[in-house]
A and B are shown apart, each in its own frame.
Chain A
Amino acid sequence: MSAAAAWARAATLVAGFVFLYAPIVVLAVMSFNASRLVSVWGGFSTKWYAALLQNAQLLHSAKISLAAALASAAIATVLGLLAAVALARFGGFRSRLLFFGAVHAPLVLPEVVLGLALLTCFVALGVGRGFVTLVIGHVTLTMCFMTVALLAALRDCDPTLEEAAMDLGATPPEAFARVALPQLAPAIVTAFLLAFTLSLDDLVIASFATGPGATTLPMRIYSQVRLGVSPQINAISTLLLALVAVSLGLAALVSYWRTGRNLRVPKTASHSPDKAP
């Protein structure tokens, strides 16, 4: 490869990264800016992070967001797993196609429409909006992603393994728990983290589904930005970013660890059953 081609490749890579991540880097850098003005670099400072700790409103919203993300991700993962099992293992039951479509629909449904529908529904049923409705809204949004991810994982998981387990005396639920579930575990963890981040950064659904007293962090940030960008917002956004990065990193690590373990070259295997897992 000529030097020019190598240079062009490197340049393309850099341009791509700049295009994707420069705004985020600018945001993160500005959160350490001592000056109030985005356009002026006033030296390095962590004072906005310190100020953040004093900002009760922002901290409260952060707590709401985290709690809602954890709760909705847990519920969506369980429901998604059940839906995926139904679709992958129950054969061609009646209304399977309808169910399949219904589960996937929110993937393409405009979020605004989904949010408005939720709001209409809550109002019509006379449900007071707050934390619970926020969680319900986020479960509706994220469950379809969970189902898609877990369905793919379940399809890679050979059903004859469960038959073999049943043949050896395991009841069907036991066969699923002992044979299918361990193989699905990495996919479940990944799906959970995906649901967590989806819920954490959702603005549209939250705006419709939540009520006073349960304002999420993205909602708070959005409303404050309209009044002018405070460097505190940069700081909290950077923290949010870090949290998402950590969860995605964890998800990657889980799948890496999983494949790594299966490919690991064995030590000279000596037999001692007591150490068997």
Chain B
Amino acid sequence: MSAPLLSIANVSKTFGAVVALENVSLDVGAGEFFALLGPSGCGKTTLMRCIAGFETPDAGAIILNGADLSGVPPFRRPVNMMFQSYALFPHIDVFENIAFGLRRQGETKVAINTRVDELLAMTQLSSYGHRRIGELSGGQKQRVALARALAPRPKMLLLDEPLGALDRKLREETQFQLKEIQRLTQTSFVIVTHDQDEALALADRIAVMRAGRVEQVAGPMEIYDRPATRFVAGFVGETNFIEGRLARNAGAALITEFGPIPCDPGDVPDGARATLSMRPERIGVAQGGEGIVGFVENFVFRGETTLLRVRVAENVVLRAAAGHGERHAIGDAVRLRFPSDAGALLAEEK
């Protein structure tokens, strides 16, 4: 990645006694789809509002395109935001909503008409220019909000929970649209979301945040397969936390109370206590053969997989996903196999 478009360095922000951001540093590249993922209250929205200029960081710098943004008011930042509530102007029609930013830039009438028509077409709203905001459905409002924020050709688009208000089916459809629009416009998108599926589906890179700190910044696959902390492993996707002690001799393995589990040792020292994060679908389930013995306690049919709860020791129950068509009954003995690259080993947190 060449020089990043947006560079956030050591940004901190407190509201009274509440620490919203603590020493956050991030880079976002040009044309990148970046996600800030975390539970509510983790500071992701505060960080976005700092980028947009609605909050002033207590410390640190936000640099866009080489220019320090501190002290620059929101109306002079080449960054636009799509608000969670959409914040569409109810007293003017769809066309004027989208044209609002262009009119502030003093564009000519012809240029405004061309640009708005282009955006109406891009968001499939071509016949809605004259509608009032109150006459639109939720999905249409979402598209108007997106078109309005994109209209002034911002260097970066900030999206605050853009799909939060849509129902499930529409959300999936809109995810594809959003990705397509991002690809077409070549604009950097920074999306704030608490929905891990959304972040995994949309983003090129994800920053997982917790209590004002960035836990991990990586691509979706790495976040999923190689979570850096226990929090990331637990927040993104389903997982099993298997506790044990690492033995590095003869092919590293985590020694647990129900047997050794092969794993990639990383930089965890020999003999140290560690936790292995193991996704349910990475555990192989078989009726016989090699592997750790367990008993099916319960199962939930999930469509493509069946999620089993398998008791492998007195007080350890693992979740494992059996493939489509495999049938298991409660009480069945099964063998669980753990590929050595399947889990992510996490050192004991200090």
Q: Chain A residues in contact with chain B, CB under 8 A?
A: 158, 160-161, 163-172, 174-175, 179, 182-183, 262-263, 266, 269-273, 275-277
Contact = CB atoms under 8 A, between A and B. Distances in A.
Most interface-central of A161, A166, A270, A273 (chain B CB within 10 A)? A273
B130 A266 contact: yes
Interface of B: 52-54, 73-76, 79-81, 83, 85, 87-93, 95-96, 99-101, 104-105, 112-113, 116-117, 120, 126-132, 134-135, 148-149, 152
Contact of B120 (A167, A271, A275): A271
6 contacts: A160-B83, A167-B75, A262-B90, A262-B132, A273-B116, A277-B96
B74 A276 contact: no
A176 to B, nearest CB: 12
A161 B81 CA distance: 12
Contact of A169 (B75, B83, B134): B75
A168 B127 contact: no
Contact of A164 (B83, B91, B117, B132): B83
A220 to B, nearest CB: 44
Contacts of A270: 127, 130
B132 A273 contact: no
A165 B89 contact: yes
Contact of A271 (B83, B88, B101, B127): B127
4 smallest CB-CB distances across A and B, nearest first, come from A169-B104, A168-B101, A164-B87, A271-B129
Contacts of A174: 104
Contacts of A179: 89, 91
A271 B130 CA distance: 6
A262 B134 contact: yes
Contact of A161 (B80, B89, B93): B89
A72 B238 CA distance: 67
B130 A276 contact: yes
Given A164-B148, A168-B149, A171-B73, 9 more contacts: A167-B52, A168-B100, A172-B75, A183-B91, A269-B129, A271-B120, A273-B116, A276-B99, A276-B130
B132 to A, nearest CB: 7
A260 B32 CA distance: 45
A160 B105 contact: no
B75 A276 contact: no
A266 B75 contact: no
A271 B95 contact: yes
Contacts of B113: 273
Contacts of B99: 276
A158 B135 contact: no
Given A169-B101, A266-B131, A163 B87 contact: yes
Nearest to A265: B135
B230 to A, nearest CB: 36
Nearest to B148: A168
Contact of B104 (A163, A170, A275): A170
A161 B92 CA distance: 12
Nearest to A169: B104
Nearest to B130: A269
A227 B318 CA distance: 99
A164 B92 CA distance: 14
Contacts of B90: 183, 262
Contacts of A170: 75, 100, 104
Contacts of A169: 75-76, 101, 104-105, 152
Contact of B80 (A167, A175, A182, A275): A167
B89 A271 contact: no
Contacts of A172: 75
B74 A167 contact: yes
